Structure 1
């Protein structure tokens, strides 16, 4: 799968959030702020995972249909992947 600039930029932003988290910890910031930033980073990861799965699912379904195969198994696999990531 090709990871486009949109996905790469999301991951770079997440990387920045995690670096910011480490800086907050080094500076001894309040735990509520640290946990809030952790939650934001986790949510960003979850949204990015969903985007990757959805783009991959679209591509896989097209390929399966072109090959004359049933796409139901691919959809189930994608849903399981999303559920497992939570």
Structure 2
């Protein structure tokens, strides 16, 4: 299973599992090329996030391989995904 995080500046965002990462990367790139712009982020949970992306801002999109048992296994001390990370 894959999980995606996006870091803009020093702020980290967990992305929904249904996120189209290629489309998000293209949208972020377009905003930078246009000199900056607001981008909607498909983050987990019941929250809406828009970020201002502009040239000079650090943007890092990471893909992590996550063991599905880490989601529901109580013996894992720090599970990768929290309950609000799951898309219902």
Same fold? TM cut 0.5: no
TM-score tier by shorter-chain length is 0.3 to 0.5
Of the two structures, which has the highest relative contact order with CA contacts closer than 8 Å and spacing of 6 or more?
Answer: 2
Q: TM-score, normalised by structure 1?
A: 0.35
Q: 1 or 2, which has the higher strand percentage?
A: 2
Q: 1 or 2, which has the higher helix percentage?
A: 1
